[in-house]
Amino acid sequence: MGRLLDQESSRYQRVRRWWRWKTTADKFGIILAILFLGVPWLFICLPCSYSSPVKCSNLVFWRAFAYVKPEKARDAFVRAVKDGDSSVRETAVTYLGSGPCPKDSATVTALIWALADTDPKVRELSAKTLALVKDSRSVEPLIAKLKDKEQRVRESAAVALGAIGDLRAVDPLINALMDWDTRTVACNSLSKLGWSPGSDRERVCFWVARHDLVSVRNNLQTIRAVLLQFLTSSETAQIAYASKVAIGLADQQLIPELLKALKDKSVAEVYLNSGNDELRKAAQEWARRNGFSIRSESGSASVVWASFR
């Protein structure tokens, strides 16, 4: 796959091996505390950690202690959401949505706070936990996360909005159908909300999101008309979306419009990896004129020529 380079990729790449260890340590810590150290030890030790900096080891015991004092455990997790260690924040937002912790205003407020965390893993886990809590106060913050720069955060937000079931999410999720990375998740959430497409534009986005090849083949003229509207738009997101759909359909009639719409780096990368020689050469020429270098790297293209057939 080829990529045009003028700045570092915004995709978050850090691998967290600690997460697997945390899951094992979580189970081991609870069993150790209950079976070997005894419940009385928890009452002696936990109040000491209650006023000290809360770290992952303490949170493991607080989770066990939640069955005895759920409000105090909840307060410990809420404080941990603002801890300086991202691994602690990840553990805290996960525990807030599980076990006997109260799903009250304090919990929801802490999880909404975590949606703005600098760590994308914390934002993702917060959205997943809000999907379990299902509080309508989180709808607007989750809608904002549909435009997060990280795909996994956008996906988790879309899933949460579908789980909560608030109709305020319908229009933002319709717009998310044009997000190539999260369109399927947005489509599933819209179905949960009882939505059905009401315009040609919505129907085309819906068919593509569901990969409904039967509807696509039977409505090529409608799809082509909508794609022409997108390709002549001034919005880069619409042009990129229409380019990917046209490439997937292998629509030769749209190639002249695709060439005219080549004005942006993201669109050029789509053409570069499309598998169509005419579009690839156009992307290479555009990159040369605009001072971009082309680097080959492993990976798969988002869409290739005739992939929808």
> In terms of domains, do 191 and 135 share one?
yes
Q: Which residue has the higher pLDDT, 15 or 276?
A: 276
- The verdict on 60 and 131 lying in the same domain is no
The whole-number average pLDDT for the span 170-184 is 96
* Predicted pLDDT at 302: 77
Q: 250 lies in a domain?
A: yes
Residue 208 is assigned to a structural domain of this protein = no
Same-domain status, 172 and 246: no
Give the span between the Cα atoms of 125 and 111, in whole angstroms. Answer: 9
Q: What is the pLDDT of residue 3?
A: 61
DSSP-assigned states of every residue in the chain = -EEEESS---S-----THHHHHHHHHHHHHHIIIIII-HHHHHHHHHHHHSSPP-HHHHHHHHHHTTT-HHHHHHHHHHHTT-S-HHHHHHHHHHHTSTT---SHHHHHHHHHHTT-SSHHHHHHHHHHHHHH--GGGHHHHHHGGG-SSHHHHHHHHHHHHHHT-GGGHHHHHHHTT-TTTHHHHHHHHHHTT----SHHHHHHHHHHHT-HHHHHHTHHHHHHHHHHHHTSS-HHHHHHHHHHHHHHT-GGGHHHHHHT--SHHHHHHHHTSS-HHHHHHHHHHHHHTT-EEEE-SS--S--TTTT-
- Assess whether 92 and 132 both reside in one domain: no
> Highest mean pLDDT: which of 14-18, 110-114, 216-220, 299-303?
110-114
Q: Are 138 and 62 contained in the same domain?
A: no
Question: Is 308 inside any structural domain?
Answer: no
Cα angle: 220, vertex 222, 225; to 5 degrees? 105
Residue 177 is part of a domain; what is its CATH number? 1.25.10.10
Q: Express each pLDDT in 240-280 by its tens digit.
A: 999 999 999 999 999 999 999 999 999 999 999 999 999 99
Q: Which of 48, 65, 99 is the last residue of a domain?
A: 99
Q: Is the per-residue pLDDT at 74 higher than 70?
A: yes
Give CA angle at 17 (13, 22), nearest 5°: 130
pLDDT, position 101: 83
Residue range of the domain that includes 63: 18-99
Domain contains 7: no
Who has greater pLDDT, 123 or 47?
A: 123
Query: Looking at residue 260, what is its pLDDT?
Result: 95
Q: Is 233 exposed, middle or buried (0-12, 13-18, 19+ CB in 10 A)?
A: middle
Asked if residue 66 and residue 87 are part of one domain, the reply reads: yes
- Give the model confidence (pLDDT) of 209-234 as tens digits: 999 999 998 999 999 999 999 999 99
Question: Does residue 306 lie within any of the structural domains?
Answer: no
Of 138, 164, 195, the residue that ends a domain is: 195
Same domain for 107 and 95, yes or no, is no
Q: What average pLDDT score do residues 149-168 get?
A: 97
| Domains in the chain, number | 3
Q: Confirm whether 122 is domain-assigned.
A: yes
Domain contains 274: yes
Band the pLDDT of 69: cuts 50, 70, 90: confident
**Mean pLDDT over each residue of the chain, to the nearest integer:** 84
280-299: pLDDT as tens digits: 999 999 999 999 888 766 66
